[in-house]
Amino acid sequence: MGLMDSFDNFWSIYSNLVLSLGTASLLALSIYLTLSCGMLAMANAAFMGIGAYASALLTMNAGAPFPVAIAGGMAAPAVVALLIGLPTLRLSGVYLAMATLAFGEVVRIVILNTEDLTGGALGLNGIPQSTQWWHVLLALLVTLGVLARLRRSKIGRAFEAIKEDETAAGLMGIDVTAHKMLAFVLGGAIAGLAGTLNAHLTFFIGPNEYGFDRGVEILTMTILGGINSLFGPVVGAVIITLLPELLRGLKDYRAVFNGLILVVIVLFLPKGLWDPAAVRRRLGLGAKEAAR
């Protein structure tokens, strides 16, 4: 009984934090998809926002049941991704990063200026708290399952070929544009799912939650974890989400550490924290030594 009580106690304090580990992991996986296809697209925070607003408007204004809101929260950013993907995915490297960044700003400004619908700078208040812990867990498991399946499929191999060398992949007969579009749209839908779950968890959403800083945070999680496996982004998301709690004593200087950690990882851990090849190498080496 005592154990149950202390668990209840823990859960009442930390349930939001635990659940935000799940939504952060979804976000990290959403940008992992485009990165694994060799694209640095920085629109995921905007897709998250579009999903959050679309689903919150569905539940608040149309009284839609939660599954419908989730579907809407995933479909809206996917459709937007499809529309802006047509022109932007032709761009390469930094041009793509900058164009998607610009798109994110446009989304934020549009939300700010459509007060009748979105509440403008005041945001949307009083979103029903429909997100249960098992919704988040299920969403994460299904996403991991789909992505794991994708990785081992022909599509996953095509992503890898495009990442290594786009021109060569095209010459091998891979439809580069279609594969990039798939990664972009699917990434948008996953980010929208995270936005939907998050909006129905936190009661309130505002336009500035989905700006440049959030986009950078999502990227940081994935780069920190590493993109050579599906666990990398999840590991990164967990660390970046827990870090502010652990660094609480530093108060105003917390973000200094977030920034410096990003720099240190880029400098000293180019493959991220979770690099399956390195782990295997270490284990393999250990086995050989044991045999001797």
Partner 1 sequence: MLEQQLFNALSLGCVYALFALGFTLVFGVLGVINLSHGAVFMVGAYAALEFITRLHAPLWAAILFAFAFSGAVGVLIDRLVLRPLRARGAPHLIPMIATIGLGLAMNSLVQGLFGAENQRFPSDILPDRAITFAGVSVTVLELGIILVSFALMTVLLYTLKRTQIGRALRAIAESPKAAGLLGINVEGLFMVTSLVAAGLGGVSGVLIGLYSNALFPLMGQPVMHKGIAVIILGGMGDIRGAMLAGLFLGFAEVLSVAYIGSTMRDAVAFGLLFLVLLVRPKGLFGSVQERKV
Query: Are residues 141 and 26 in contact, defined by beta-carbon separation less than 8 angstroms?
Result: no
Closest separation between CB of residue 236 and partner 1, Å? 13
Among 254, 269, 276, 278, interactor with partner 1 by CB under 8 A: 254
Closest separation between CB of residue 78 and partner 1, Å? 19
**What DSSP assignment string belongs to 208-254?**
GGGSHHHHHHHHHHHHHH-SSSSHHHHHHHHHHHHHHHHTGGGGGGH
For residues 180 and 33, what is the distance between their CA atoms, to the nearest angstrom? Answer: 10
Measured from the CB atom, the residue of 87 and 126 that comes closer to partner 1 is: 87
CB neighbours (10 Å) of residue 261? 15
Size of residue set near partner 1 by CB under 8 A? 43
Each residue 162-181 as x (binds partner 1 by CB under 8 A) or -, in order, gives -----x---x----------
The residue ranges of DSSP E strands in the chain, in sequence order, are 124-125, 204-205
Among 21, 60, 79, 110, interactor with partner 1 by CB under 8 A: 110
Q: Does 255 bind partner 1 (CB under 8 A)?
A: yes
Q: Does 117 bind partner 1 (CB under 8 A)?
A: no
Can you read off the two tokens belonging to residue 79? 């459709």
For residues 292 and 289, what is the distance between their CA atoms, to the nearest angstrom? Answer: 5
Closest separation between CB of residue 271 and partner 1, Å? 11
Q: Does 269 bind partner 1 (CB under 8 A)?
A: no
Measured from the CB atom, the residue of 260 and 283 that comes closer to partner 1 is: 260
CB neighbours (10 Å) of residue 129? 11
Residues that bind partner 1 in the complex, under the rule CB under 8 A? 40, 87-88, 90-91, 93-95, 97-99, 101-103, 105-106, 109-110, 113, 167, 171, 212-213, 216, 219-220, 223, 251-263, 266-267, 270
